[in-house]
């Protein structure tokens, strides 16, 4: 159930960190990595606690334990196996960091990460996160609506799409050829999708700065879409008048559509999307039915009124 609340429990209080292993022990046993930090006293794994306020939108679901959320990741810049990002992303240097903004705007802009992070109050938002591979988590993210940042960029009326470009630096990343991706990683949204209040410019999770393997120090989260749409470690944002090229859509257009809305009635060519493996506190993932738009249909279905969601998958 999606709730609009001002009394939600801050994400930093959802998963008591003392229950988890030390950073050194966890690295040895499950391959985790330190994140970035600039705001408050440093927590476990090198992440830094953030000053947050209860978000406008949150789920009334129990989040996935932090330990699982930061050890089972897709971040192909650091390898194609689920444990590779946690094992290898320690090379990422999330400070200093800048984001360039260009394209259909009044003038090109460059922001440092702390300016972007402090532009609006940071909110705790507990969202469902559904991977196209048919597994899911519930994550308490930290950020603010991307639409707020868009307004600061002064886009022109001709801007109809937004493209996100991720870091591609072989000094900090593996960028494996086996991923099949033409680096840098690219993703994109239609402007009305980007401006929806659920679209989150994200700087943290579980009340802390993002771990490196989660896409530190800045990523986008679109909770009604498959996770590959949520670009990580963003270094460039482009406002465009035409639909941009995106990495997975370019690589395998019959499998990964530009829209990538969670749709249990539209199967991936190699597996069903009707159900998902929910990663939670249970020893093994539970199989549960997948919800249209990942459960956010009441909020976002109107964006696609009149569209054939099998053709626009």
Please list, in sequence order, all residues whose beta carbon lies within 8 angstroms of the beta carbon of residue 253, skipping any fewer than 6 positions away: none
How would residue 178 be classed by pLDDT, with cut points 50, 70 and 90? very high
pTM of the model: 0.87
- On the question of pLDDT at 29 being above 50, the answer is no
d(CA 45, CA 205): 13
The CB density around residue 88, as the number of other CB atoms within 10 Å, is: 20
Name the band, by pLDDT with cuts 50, 70 and 90, for residue 176: very high
Q: Label the pairing between strands 135-145 and 275-278.
A: parallel
Residue 12: per-residue pLDDT:
38
Report pLDDT for 17.
Answer: 34
pLDDT band at 2 (very low <50, low <70, confident <90, very high): low
- Helix ranges restricted to H, the chain: 23-30, 66-69, 84-88, 113-117, 146-153, 191-194, 247-251, 297-300
Distance CA 311, CA 285 (A): 31
Q: Who contacts 115 (Cβ-Cβ below 8 Å, separation ≥6)?
A: none
Please check whether residue 151 is in contact with residue 46, taking contact to mean a CB–CB distance below 8 angstroms.
Answer: no
Residue 47 pLDDT > 90: no
What is the number of other CB atoms lying within 10 angstroms of the CB of residue 177?
A: 8
Token pair 């048919």 is found at 134
Residue whose C-alpha is closest to residue 229's, from 250, 258, 263: 258
> Which residues, at least 6 apart from 140, have a Cβ–Cβ distance to it below 8 Å?
11, 14, 15, 58, 63, 124, 125, 126, 127, 205, 206, 207
Neighbours of 3 (CB within 10 A): 12
């Amino acid at each position: 159930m999606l709730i609009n609340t001002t009394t939600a429990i801050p994400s930093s209080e959802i998963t008591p960190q003392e229950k988890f292993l030390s950073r050194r022990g966890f690295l040895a046993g499950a391959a985790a990595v330190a994140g970035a930090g600039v705001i408050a006293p440093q927590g476990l794994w090198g992440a830094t606690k953030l000053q947050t306020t209860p978000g406008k939108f949150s789920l009334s679901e129990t989040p996935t334990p932090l330990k699982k959320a930061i050890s089972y990741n897709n971040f192909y810049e650091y390898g194609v196996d689920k444990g590779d990002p946690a094992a290898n992303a320690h090379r990422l240097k999330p400070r200093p960091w800048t984001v360039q903004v260009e394209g259909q705007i009044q003038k090109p802009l460059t922001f440092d990460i702390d300016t972007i992070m402090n532009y609006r109050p940071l909110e705790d938002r507990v969202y469902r996160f559904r991977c196209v591979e048919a597994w899911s988590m519930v994550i308490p993210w930290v950020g603010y609506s991307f639409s707020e940042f868009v307004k600061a960029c002064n886009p022109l009326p001709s801007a109809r799409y937004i493209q996100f470009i991720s870091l591609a630096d072989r000094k900090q990343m593996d960028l494996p050829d086996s991923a099949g991706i033409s680096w840098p990683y690219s993703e994109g949204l239609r402007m009305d999708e980007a401006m929806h209040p659920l679209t989150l410019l994200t700087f943290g999770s579980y009340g802390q700065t993002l771990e490196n393997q989660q896409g530190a120090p800045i990523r986008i989260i679109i909770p009604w879409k498959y996770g590959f749409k949520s670009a990580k470690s963003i270094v460039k944002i482009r406002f465009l008048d035409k639909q941009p090229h995106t990495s997975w859509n370019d690589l395998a257009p019959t499998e990964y559509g530009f829209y990538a809305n969670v749709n249990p009635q539209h199967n991936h060519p190699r597996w069903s999307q009707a159900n998902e493996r929910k990663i939670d506190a249970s020893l093994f993932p539970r199989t549960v039915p997948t919800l249209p738009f990942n459960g956010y249909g009441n909020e976002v279905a109107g964006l696609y009124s009149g569209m054939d969601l099998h053709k626009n998958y």
